[in-house]
Structure 1
């Protein structure tokens, strides 16, 4: 039976929800959808409910009354609370069900750069999805159990970690994509007239483009250049990046990975007189690394800017492969990674949504009609 447009839309909506939650977990911030696990935002958002979440890079500056998502100062997960006031130090936040603000309980004021996403409001109401958080939590537990089962089955303790299951799924999806493509091209029943319903293909393509955009943002937004200002002074006070003329000053370059997917970061000094202890750094999910940087000060006194360029890539490929691609050109790993992710998601979308050969269906209906007569 031909899949109805309404059913295809429902399948695509489910696929969007699943991928949004999965990508949000991998990148460490909600993408399109978020959820809460406590009752601190009741009755606005109930415990275990989901909500629409727009990444901060797509919104304007936040304001009082906005419901925002940010990393807990204690580092134990994401917090969804409302901004209730703005001070010179930053924003004051509070859960709608909490009697006091977060800052009154010891949290530092929230800065604009700390906001990961905003929950849009329509007429003062936030669009919620009942039970989405519970479903996402259960799905995460199932994935973790599957990963442990995979480790026990294979005996490969190297698979332990946040990337084992995603990498396995990635490989299986690539194999399935290749087999599906070969079968589709070699099938004698393949429709040559162009009558195949194209909606599933367009939906799968749209989902693939969505994942490509999100993955690109995860690699490009946190990267870029950071300027280190070294002060050449005589006498030189005891302070970071302050030294006597012609001397050296030491500091640390911090690389933070807020997502669950490991990243590979390459650091390159733009200016002379800058040396880095490690120019290639792998950072596991939900972790950070500090790299030592030594800056030479000119012999003349003054303030001097020294820039370090950071390029980061999602480690969905073996480290050696990324290193080889980076040696060819810094954009090569980026292109290969987004191409693989887009292809895998497109193949999964086609498999999930399916497609229907109209000509074959019509012939089958005619045969059934003649047979019934």
Structure 2
């Protein structure tokens, strides 16, 4: 195995690793990799260390000793927390940071429910597989995005939502321009061989692999936090004062919270699945690292009892103009998701090709690319 092959393999592996971490964390849904931002998990993981995040669907049941990534569920500023499971109870899981003297629940936090868990850290022989310093790239990305968004807001005199839209529009324009440049560049080349002379995989296939990683992360960020949520309430006569209690035929009011754990803004569409449910509004734009409440009014049945009503949420990364997302959503809820995933995949593909191509001079080819002028000179 040549030194060139090893160097290229390491460079590609690092590229895929960093992009997977950035995509998963920036979009608010850990995929393949995650990182810790505090020292609460020392000595297993130091602040900024990365780890391999395995989605819960692939892990199965959570057991004591597992290090899990879960939504804090504090109802104010939801965030992703990485702590170890101490034990399982009827109320949920008891968790604790390895460096903390008491459990999270002794510190006043609620028990962690199954639906809050999004990933589990990979462990070998009881030791977390960690990647030192991986969090630096992710936090840097978030900082850059915040600075760009704040700068646009200062220049244009708009609020956070509108500046987020400006960033999304800028990403769209840059990605389309990059895609067109890449297409023209590819058309001007003559492909004479699909493999380079040292037997390594061609850059196009590597770029496709990276694009797939980003596409899967984007899909998870939009699909996993969304879905159906049931609201339980009681119809009783007389109805005491309290939340989610009403007399038969009365009105129950509560809030549906749309939380965004990522840096990119999202657009969420809400639809009632059952009759008698009225929403304050059917769409909400939530900036990065923020949340928004939508009032839900439910008409209680005429008979007493316990009831449930369901609200369905569809969410999308705000990377397309709002009229485009609205038009696609009106046709089918899956269409905006497909369009946004395709957009992010194209951005990742173009950036990856640029990074690989700029990593050094192209190796000599037995039969690689040549321009029309070069081919003309060869024929002469």
Which of the five TM-score ranges fits, normalised by the shorter chain? 0.7 to 0.9
Compute the displacement of 1:157 (Å): 4.5
Q: Counterpart of 1:112?
A: 114
CA contact (8 A) 1:49 1:133 kept: yes
Go from structure 1 to structure 2 and tell me whether the alpha carbon gap of 1:288 and 1:172 turns closer, same or farther (over 3 Å shift).
same
Within 2, Cα distance between the matches of 1:143 and 1:224? 28
C-alpha spacing 1:267/1:141, structure 2 compared with 1 (3 Å): closer
SS in 1 for 2:264: coil
Q: Would the aligned equivalents of 2:193 and 2:368 in 1 still touch at CA under 8 Å?
A: no
Instruction: Give the aligned partner of residue 181 of structure 1.
Output: 183
Are the aligned partners of 1:261 and 1:315 in contact in 2 as well (CA < 8 Å)?
yes
Asked if 1:172 is matched to 2:163, the reply is: no
Q: CA RMSD in A?
A: 3.3
| Structure 2 CA distance for partners of 1:356 and 1:255, relative to 1, 3 Å | same
Alpha-carbon distance in 2 for matches of 1:314, 1:203: 25
Q: Does 1:242 align with 2:245?
A: yes
Query: For the residues of structure 1 that align with 2:144 and 2:329, how far apart are their CA atoms?
Result: 36
Aligned residues of 2:94 and 2:105 also touching (Cα < 8 A): yes
Which segments of 5 or more consecutive residues in structure 2 lack a partner in the other structure?
A: 371-380
Deviation at 1:294, TM superposition (A): 1.8
Is residue 16 from structure 1 mapped to residue 16 from structure 2 by the alignment? yes
User: What secondary structure is seen at the aligned counterpart in 1 of 2:253?
Assistant: strand
1:27 aligned residue: 27
Deviation of 1:278 after TM superposition, in Å, equals 0.5
SS in 2 for 1:108: coil
What corresponds to 1:351 in structure 2? 354
Q: Which runs of 5+ in 1 are unaligned?
A: 364-373
> Map of 1:9-88 to 2, 5 A cutoff?
9-71=9-71, 75=77, 78-88=80-90
Match in the other structure for 2:376: none
1:224-270, Cα deviation, whole Å (9 max, x unpaired) = 22233454433333343433333332222222222222111111222
With 291-300 and 307-316 compared, the bigger mean Cα shift is at 291-300
Q: Of the candidates 317, 325, 346, which is equivalent to residue 320 of structure 2?
A: 317
Relative distance call for 1:142 and 1:252 in structure 2 (3 A) is: closer
Aligned residue runs from structure 1 range 74-223, under 5 A: 75=77, 78-138=80-140, 140-141=142-143, 144=146, 155-158=155-158, 168-185=170-187, 187=188, 189-192=189-192, 194=194, 199-223=202-226
Distance in 2 (CA, whole Å) between partners of 1:334 and 1:238 is: 42
Distance 2:241 2:151 in 1: 54
1:109 and 1:80 map into 2 onto residues whose CA distance is 14
- Asked if 1:340 corresponds to 2:347, the answer is no
- 1:35-54 per-position Cα deviation (integer Å, ceiling 9, x unaligned): 33443333322343322222
Contact 1:21 1:33 in 2 (8 A): yes
**Aligned match of 2:377:** none
Aligned 8 A contact 2:65 2:84 in 1: yes
* CA 1:80–1:226: 2 relative to 1, 3 Å: closer
Give the 3-state SS of the residue equivalent to 1:102 in structure 2.
Answer: coil
**Does 2:354 align with 1:330?**
no
Find the partner of 1:298 among 291, 301, 325: 301
Q: Residues 13, 163 of structure 1: CA spacing in aligned structure 2 closer, same or farther, 3 A cutoff?
A: farther
CA pair 48-171 structure 1, distance change in 2 beyond 3 A: same
* Cα pair distance change 1:194/1:94, threshold 3 Å: closer
- d(CA) in 2 for partners of 1:239, 1:245: 15
Shift of residue 59, structure 1, vs aligned partner: 2.4
Spell out, residue by residue over 1:67-97, the C-alpha distance to the aligned partner (whole angstroms, 9 max, x if none): 2233555848544332233344433333333
How far is 1:175 from its partner? 0.7
Count of aligned residue pairs for this structure pair = 359
| Residue 157 to residue 198, structure 1, CA distance change in 2 (3 Å) | farther
Whole-angstrom distance in 1 between the partners of 2:85 and 2:313? 32
Q: 1:148 to 1:260 in 2, by over 3 A?
A: closer
Aligned equivalents of 1:203, 1:358: Cα separation in 2: 18
C-alpha separation between the residues in 2 aligned to 1:43 and 1:230? Answer: 45
